[in-house]
Amino acid sequence: MSVNVGNLDAIAVDARQRISAAADEATLNQLRIDLLGKKGVLTGALRGLGSLPADQRSAAGARANALKTEIDQRLNARRQELEQNRLQGLADSEWVDVTFIPEAAVSRGHLHPLTQALTEITAIFSRLGYEVALGPEVEDDYHNFQALNIPEGHPARDEWDSFYLAQGGWLLRTHTSPVQIRFMEAHQPPIRIIAPGPVYRHEATDAGHESQFHQVEGLLVEEDIRMSDLVGTIEYFSRSMFGAERRIRISGDHFPFTEPSIGAAVSCGICQGTGCGSCKGGWLEIMGAGMVHPQVLRNGRIDPERYSGFAFGMGLDRIAMLKYNIADIRRLRESDVRFLRQF
Ligand code: PHE
């Protein structure tokens, strides 16, 4: 085909007419191929430019390129126009207003009640200057018993019956008190720590007992620490955790690693201390505590002539049960979301 500007004009007229007549996307796609494709009309014309006399070549080249751009734009514009028409032509029933679709409910979890209780306990004691210390759950006999004044054959071992590993004399710790020893071995006073974590006891399971539960140990060792400091600390803790209306009851107790030893109970929030099925005569035991035995300080390489301290150990599960009025400790480990969702 010989190429001249008149020829290009004819291509342009034809292309414009066919593009505006195209009624659907497929036709437009075919038109793009026919006009601009490798074997397209315009491509052929461009190829023929080389045979033009030199004085016409550049004018025709410019015209051909402009036409190429124009066709491309017209194809795109027509496609948009067709899409617009299609949307406008849709019957009301055929389209949806997405702003009216209710969003799918997102099911959102939350922290386990034990974690919630521990977070609160940690916050309360951090206000009193305590830091969190951790120890191993698999312990040796020395840290779990001997260093706490419970030598082999001591009758107190019956209270802390454990699970023993087949080798090496290791056991699953029966309380968090070994963390007291481990921390003292590595630090000198002033010491203020709480040590939370799982503990294990070989015992029958019922509504109040599990073979795995959680304790939060506390240890404070400084100069001139007395029983009144311990009682004040328990009082502050109980008020912060359970509310100012709860009373606390301190009674005598016995632990080989504290001297003297006490037990602390909080008045029951369900019966207000008059006695009900959830408590024992209006009170709920929350912790064992006492002044750290001088030999235990020595075992931790701390001089009992210079320093004194107190320690306490509370059952985290008990505290969570008290705080959230949970009647059965086993619920805390069942992972039943119908139960957990309530807290
Ligand atoms: N370890 C004791 C228990 O498991 C609790 C306790 C801790 C008592 C610290 C006194 C001091 O029963």
Residue type, 15: A
Ordered DSSP codes for 236-272: HHHHHHH-TT--EEEEEEEETTEEEEEEEEEE-TTTT
Picking from 148, 200, 196, the residue whose alpha carbon sits closest to that of residue 174 is 200
Per-residue tens of pLDDT for the chain, all 343 residues: 445 556 888 889 999 999 999 999 999 999 999 999 988 888 888 888 888 888 888 888 888 889 999 999 999 999 999 988 888 877 766 777 777 777 788 888 899 999 999 999 999 999 999 999 999 999 999 999 999 999 999 988 888 888 999 888 899 999 999 999 999 999 999 999 999 999 999 888 877 778 899 999 999 999 999 999 999 999 999 999 999 988 999 999 999 999 999 999 998 887 888 888 778 888 989 999 999 999 999 999 999 999 999 999 999 998 998 888 887 888 888 888 889 888 8
Count other Cβ atoms within 10 Å, centred on residue 163: 15
From CA 322, how far away is CA 205, in angstroms rounded?
Answer: 19
Q: Where are the domains of the chain?
A: 5-93, 113-340
Q: What are phi and psi of 198, to 5 degrees?
A: -75, 145
Q: Which atom of ligand 1 is nearest to the CA of 180?
A: 9
Residue nearest atom 10 in ligand 1 by C-alpha distance: 289
DSSP E strand stretches across the chain: 131-132, 138-139, 171-172, 191-200, 212-222, 248-255, 258-267, 283-292, 308-315
Both structure tokens of 210: 């599990």
- In this structure, the residues whose C-beta lies within 6 A of any atom of ligand 1 are 175, 177, 217, 255, 258, 288-290, 311-313
Q: How many whole angstroms from 281 Cα to the centroid of ligand 1?
A: 23
From CA 266, how far away is CA 242, in angstroms rounded?
Answer: 9
**Coil, strand or helix at 200:** strand
**Coil, strand or helix at 202:** coil
Element (H, E) at 213: strand 212-222
From CA 245, how far away is CA 238, in angstroms rounded?
Answer: 10
Residue nearest atom 7 in ligand 1 by C-alpha distance: 313
Query: What DSSP designation does 206 have?
Result: B
Q: What is the CATH number of domain 113-340?
A: 3.30.930.10
Long-range contacts of 82-90 (CB under 8 A, 24+ apart): 82/22, 82/23, 82/24, 82/25, 82/28
Is the distance from CB of 215 to CB of 315 less than 8 angstroms? yes
From CA 274, how far away is CA 73, in angstroms rounded?
Answer: 88
Residue nearest atom 4 in ligand 1 by C-alpha distance: 175
Q: Which pTM does this prediction carry?
A: 0.70
